[in-house]
Amino acid sequence: MAGRRDFLNQPAPENYVAGLGRGATGFTTRSDLGPAREGPSEDQIKEALAKRAAQLGAAAPTAYGAPEKKEEDDDDERFQDPENEVGLFAGGAYDKDDDEADRIYQEVDEKMDRRRKARRSISLFTSNHPSFSIADGLSYMRIDEQITDVSTYREAREKAEREEYERNNPKIQQQFADLKRALSTVSDEDWANLPEVGDLTGKNRRAKQALRQRFYAVPDSVIAGARDSTELGTTVADDGPSGGDGPDGTMTNFADIGAARDKVLKVKLDQASQGTDSVAGSATNIDPKGYLTSLAKSQIHEGEAQVGDINRARVLLESVIRTNPKHGPGWIAAARLEELAGKTVAARNVIARGCEFCPKNEDVWLENIRFNDNHNAKIIAANAIKNNDHSVRLWVEAMNLESEPRAKKRVIRHALDHIPQSVMLWKEAVNLEEDPDDARLLLAKATEIIPLSVELWLALARLETAENAQKILNKARKAIPTSHEIWIAAARLQEQTGNYKINVMKRAVLALAKESAMLKREEWITEAEKCEEEGAILTCGNIIQETLGWSLDEDDDRKDIWMEDARASIGRGKYETARAIYGYALRVFVNSRKLWLAAADFEKNHGTKEALWQILEKAVEACPQSEVLWMMLAKEKWQAGEIDNARRVLGRAFKQNPNNEDIWLAAVKLEAENNQPEQARELLKTARQEAPTDRVWMKSAAFERQLGDIEAALDLINQALQLFPAAAKLWMMKGQIYQGEGKLPQAREAYGTGTKACPKSVPLWLLYSRLEEKAGNIVKARGILDRARLAVPKSPELWTESVRIERRANNISQAKNLMAQALQQVPNSGLLYSESIWHLEPRTQRKPRALEAIKKVDNDPILFVTIARIFWGERRLEKAQNWFEKAILLDSDLGDTWAWYYKFLLQHGTEEKRADVVAKCILSEPRHGEIWQSVAKEPKNAAKNLEEILNIVVSKLE
C-alpha cells in the first residue's frame, strides 16, 4: 500500500495539466490576481529562472545572465511558496528548448543594440569629421568593436539635438534675460514716470472715445451745490479747536463725530421703546409724516425711467402681444409703457391695434378712450359700445364724455334700454335728475325691474314721505326678507317719526333668525356705530339691546365679552354705543360691582355729572355692600359742593355697612376738609369703637398730629401699638414724631423696635438709616442697611439707599461697587438704573447706559423719566415730551412723574398744555413717588390740594 502512494511524491510529467483529459479548463478571477502591482524586475526574472531549473533538476539557464544555483540553497527552496513565483510563465515547465530560445533572443537583442550603437557613433564621427567616409566593411567592424556603451551615445545625441533646438528657438524669458538684469539699475522715480499701458487698437480706441463723449443728465443736487458754492455764509461755525490736523491739512471735527454717535444712540433708543408703545397706548410705531415722506420719495417719475429698462420691457411686451394677440392686458401694458416713455402717439397706435384684436375687452376700450381727446374719445366709445353693448362701464364712460346734462340723460337712457338690470345705471340716471319727483319715478320703475336691490329701495324710501316710506320699506321687506339694512332703515324711520308702538328691531331679529340671515354680534355693533355716526342714537341703542346677547350662552364669559366690546367702542370714539352696551350688561348682571365701576368710570370720563350721579345711585341700590360705590357717590357730591348730600350718602352707607373702616374714614375726611375738626374727632372716636383696625388708629393719630396735638397723637399711637404691634406705619409715625421734636434717642428706639417687629418693612428701614445718617453715624447707617438687605434681599429701594449713602459720603468707588452688586441682585429695577445713569456715569456715557437699561428693564416709568430728562438736557424737547407722556400712561399713580413733566412744561410748554396736565393729574390723584409721598404726608401739607402739592414737589426736584 505504501508503494502505491509513492507517485504522489514523484514529479509530474512535462507539459502535464491536471484534469485536462476529462475536459476541465482553468480560469482566473480578479481575487486570484490580487491588487495591481509593477512587473518583475530583471533580478527577479533571473532568480525565478534559476529556481525553476533547480526544481526540474536541470542546469541553470544561461539566458539573461541567470546565475547557477548553489547547492547550499536547496534547503531554503523547500520552504518557499511555489505560488508566490513571478514572471510570465512561473507555473509552466522550463526545459532545454526554452533555455535555447531565451539564449537566441538575447543574442538577437545584443546584435541589434550593437548595430544601433555603430550607426550613432558613425553619424557623430562624420558630423565632427566631414571628410571621412567608410571605404569598406572592415572599418565599420572596427568601430563596432570599439562601442561598448549604447545608452551613453543615445543620451549624448539627444542632448546635442536639444541644445541645437534651444539655440535655434530660444524662450521669451531667455530673450529678455539681459534686459531684466538691467532693471536692477532703475530708480523709484523712473518707475513712477513709466506711462500706463493702453490699448491703442483702432476699434477699442474708437469705442472709448465714443464712451467719453456720452452725455448724462446732471442731477439737481449737483446744480444746487454749484450754486451754493459761490455763496458767502453769514454764520460762524462753533467747531472750536477741539479737532486735530488730518493728513490732508483738514481739521477733524470731533463735535460732529459725537453728534453722529448721539444720533445713532437716539435711533436705538427709539427702536428699543417701540415695544412699549402698544402697552402705553400713546401712539403707533409708525410716524405718519415720515412714512408719507418716504412714500413720496419712492415714487418713480416719468423722467426718471431708465431708457434701457423701457427698451427691454418693450421687447418683452411685443413678444407677449405677438404670441397672444387676444390678450387684452398685454396691449394695455404696452400702451402704458409707451406713455411712460413719453410717446403718446405710439401709445395710441398700440392701444388702437389692441382694440382691433380684442374688440370684446372693455378694459382695452376704456384705455383707448383715456388716451384720446374728447372728440376722438366719443367716436371710440361709440365703437366700443357697438362691440360691447352690455358693458356698464363703457356706457358710464360714454355718459361722462358728454358735457351737457341732456346728452348725458340720453346716453344713460340708451344704456338702460340695453341693460335694464344694472343698478349702477339706474343710480346714475337718478343722480342726473334735478327734480325729486322725476327721481322718485325713476326709482319706482327701477324697483319694479330690480326688486332685489336694497340700495334702490332705500333710496326710494328716502325720497318719499314718512307714510309712503313706511309702505315702501314694507314692500322691500317682503321682496328681500334677508336684508338687515331694510329693518335698520325702518327703525330709523320710526325714530324720526317718534312712533314707538312696536319694537322694530325685535321683530327684525325674529324675522332674520327665521330666514337664517342673522348677523354676528360684532357686525351688529358695527351697524349700531354707523347709526351713531349718522345721529340715530335711539336706533343705535335698540340694535344693541336686541342683538348684543345673540349667540352667547350663559356658560360663556358674557360679562368680560361685553366689557371688552364697550372698551373697543370707546377706543373708536363711539360713546353712545358703549353706553348702550354697559346698559344692557348691567340689566343682565345687576349685582356686578365690576360692571358698575366700569360704567361709572365711563360716565366720569365721557359723560355728564348728572349721568354719573344717576349711574352711581343705581349702583349703590344694586350693590349696597360695596363701600367703593358709596364713597364714589359721596365724593362726587362733595366735589360738586353739595356737602349735605354727601353727608346723607355717607349716612346711608353707614346703615348698609356699619363697621366698614373705609366709610368711617371717608366721613372723617369729609368733615376735616370742611373745617369741622370736632365732628371728625368724634367720628374717629366712634370708628375706633365700631371698627377698631390699625388703619383707623393710624388715621386718628395722624389727624391729631395734623391739628398739632402731639401728646394726643403719641398717646393714640402707644395705645394702637399695644393692639397692633406689627403695624409698621404706627412705628414709622412714632419715630417721625420724636424726630420732628428733636428727640433722637426716642426716635432711634422707635425705629429699632419697629424693625424688629416688622423686619419686612422697607420704609421703616429707610427711615432708621436716614436718622443715623443725619446724626452723623455713617457707619451705623451702613450697618442698618446691611441688616435690611439681609431681611429684604431683593429690594431696589434698599440697594439705592446704600449707594446714595456712599455717594453722599464722597465714596464714589464704593458706590459703584454697590451698584454693580445691586444690578446683579435686582437686574430689572429702573430705580437702580436711574441712580446709576444720573450720579455714577459721566455725561457722555448716559445715553449708552440708558440704551442698555431699556433693553433689560421692561416698561419702568422711573427709567422713562430718566430718558426724558436726558433728551431734555440735549434740547430735544419733542422727544423728551414723548417719553414723559409714555411714563405717565404707564403709571399715572406715580406723582414724581407728573412733577417732572410739569416742571418740563413750565420751561417749554404752553399755558394750555400746563393746565391740561394739572387737570389730568388731579383726575388721576397720584399717591406714590419718593418725593411725592414725603411732601403729601407732611402734616403741614395736609390741607393742601393736589395742585399745591404738585407745585411743592416741582420745587423740590433736582
Give the pLDDT mean for 122-147: 44
Mean pLDDT across 470-482: 86
Separation of alpha carbons 629 and 833, rounded Å: 40
Identify the bridge partners of residue 251 per DSSP, sorted by sequence position: 245
pLDDT at residue 888, rounded to an integer: 92
Dist. CA 376–CA 345, nearest whole Å: 13
Mean pLDDT in residue range 143-169: 69
pLDDT surpassing 80 at residue 30: no
557 vs 890, residue with greater confidence: 890
Cα dist from 296 to 293, 300, 305, whole Å: 5, 9, 16
Q: Are residues 499 and 395 in the same domain?
A: no
Residues 435 and 500 in one domain: no
pTM of the complete model: 0.56
DSSP state of 941: G
> If you average pLDDT over residues 913-922, what whole number do you get?
91
| CA 867 to each of CA 791, 851, 861: distance values in angstroms, whole numbers, following the listed order | 32, 9, 10
| Separation CA 66–CA 792 (nearest Å) | 105
- Tell me the residue type at 372: N
Q: Evaluate whether residue 185 is within a structural domain.
A: no
**Residue 317, domain CATH:** 1.25.40.10
Return the bridge partners of 241, or none: none
Residue with cell 411725592: 932
The confidence score (pLDDT) of residue 148 equals: 45
Domain endpoint, select from 435, 463, 491: 463
Q: What pLDDT does 277 receive? A: 43
pLDDT in tens, 922-939: 888 898 988 998 888 888
Q: Could you write out the DSSP letters of every residue in 309-376?
A: HHHHHHHHHHHHHHH-TT-HHHHHHHHHHHHHTT-HHHHHHHHHHHHHH-TT-HHHHHHHHHHS-HHH
**How far is the C-alpha of 730 from the C-alpha of 717, rounded, in Å?**
6
- Rounded-to-integer distance, Cα 764 and Cα 213, Å: 87
Mark whether 326 and 430 lie in a shared domain.
yes
Question: Residue 236: which residues within 8 A CB-CB, separation 6 or more?
Answer: none
pLDDT for 600-644, tens place per residue? 989 888 888 888 888 888 888 888 888 888 888 888 888 888 888
Same domain membership, residue 493 and residue 455: no
Residue 487 sits in the same domain as residue 552: yes
C-beta separation of 109 from 117 below 8 A: no
Question: Both 505 and 449 in a single domain?
Answer: no
Q: What is the mean pLDDT of residues 465-493?
A: 85
pLDDT in tens, 742-791: 888 899 999 999 999 999 999 999 999 999 999 888 999 999 999 999 99
Q: How far apart are CA 172 and CA 11, in angstroms?
A: 71
Q: How far apart are the first and last CA of the chain?
A: 130
Query: In the structure grid, which three cell numbers stand for residue 410, read together?
Result: 340720453
**Does residue 106 lie within any of the structural domains?**
no
| pLDDT band, residue 698 (cuts 50/70/90) | confident
46 pLDDT band, cuts 50/70/90, is: confident
Task: Mean pLDDT check: name the lowest of 36-50, 421-435, 458-472.
Answer: 36-50
- For 526-549, write each residue's pLDDT tens digit: 999 999 998 888 889 888 988 888
Confirm whether 554 is domain-assigned: yes
Q: Quick one: how far is CA 575 from the chain centroid?
A: 34
For residue 246, the model assigns a pLDDT of 44
Where residue 818 falls among pLDDT bands split at 50, 70, 90? very high
- Provide the number of structural domains found in the chain: 3
For residues 565 and 529, give the distance between their C-alpha atoms in angstroms, rounded to a whole number. 12
Task: Provide the pLDDT confidence category of residue 820 given band limits of 50, 70 and 90.
Answer: very high
| Partners of residue 894 on adjacent β-strands | 928
Tell which of 556, 589, 622 closes a domain.
589
> What long-range pairs does 296-304 form, CB within 8 A, spacing at least 24?
302/340, 302/342
SS3 percent helix, strand, coil of the chain, rounded to 5, is 70, 0, 30
Nearest of 153, 122, 145 to residue 135 by alpha carbon: 122
What is the residue range of 950's domain? 859-957
- List the single range of 53-67, 312-326, 667-681 with lowest mean pLDDT: 53-67
Whether residue 591 contacts residue 623, with contact meaning beta carbons closer than 8 Å, is answered with: yes
Mean predicted confidence (pLDDT) in 171-182? 77
Packing angle, helices 946-956 and 895-908, rounded to 10: 80
34 within a domain of the structure (yes/no): no
Residue 269 inside a domain? The answer is no
Q: Rounded to whole angstroms, how far apart are CA atoms 609 and 606?
A: 10
Q: Are residues 386 and 412 in the same domain?
A: yes
Please state, in angstroms and rounded to a whole number, the distance separating the CA atoms of residues 239 and 187: 45
Do 521 and 425 lie in one domain? The reply is no
For the record, the C-alpha cell of 477 comes out as 321687506
Query: How much is the average pLDDT of 413-417?
Result: 86
Is residue 551 one of the residues assigned to a domain? Answer: yes
Residues facing residue 541 across a β-bridge:
none
Query: Can you give the CATH number for the domain in which 869 is found?
Result: 1.25.40
Q: Is 906 in contact with 889 (CB distance < 8 Å)?
A: no
Asked which of 432, 463, 494 is the last residue of a domain, the reply is: 463
CB atoms within 10 A of CB 425: 21
Cα–Cα dist 324/629, whole Å: 77
DSSP for 450-483, written as a single string: -TT-HHHHHHHHHHS-HHHHHHHHHHHHHH-TT-
Higher pLDDT, 60 or 258: 258
Question: 448 and 524 share a domain?
Answer: no
- Quote the pLDDT of residue 705: 85
Backbone angles phi, psi at 842, to 5 degrees: -70, 165
Check residue 135 and give left, alpha or beta (phi > 0: left; psi -120 to 50: alpha): alpha
- What are the distances in angstroms from CA 496 to CA 160, 458, 543, 850? 126, 15, 16, 60
Cβ atoms of 66 and 54 within 8 Å: the answer is no
pLDDT reading at 694 higher than 90: no
Average pLDDT, integer, range 429-450: 84
Tell which residue, 930, 923, 929, 928, has the closest CA to residue 946. Answer: 923
165 domain-assigned = no
- 367 & 486 share domain: no
The answer, yes or no, to whether residue 812 has pLDDT greater than 60, is yes
**Is residue 33 predicted with pLDDT exceeding 80?**
no
Question: Do 542 and 413 lie in a common domain?
Answer: no
Mean pLDDT of 221-227: 69
DSSP 805: H
The share of the chain scoring above pLDDT 70, in percent, equals 77
Q: In terms of domains, do 457 and 373 share one?
A: yes
Quote the CA–CA distance of 870 and 443 in Å, as a whole number: 67
DSSP secondary-structure letter at 827?
T
What is the predicted pLDDT for the residue at 686?
81
Say if CB 629 and CB 598 are below 8 A apart: no
The answer to whether residue 817 sits within a structural domain is: no
Q: Supply the DSSP symbol for 301.
A: P
User: Cα 145 to the chain's mean position, in Å?
Assistant: 98
Tell me the average pLDDT of the chain: 79
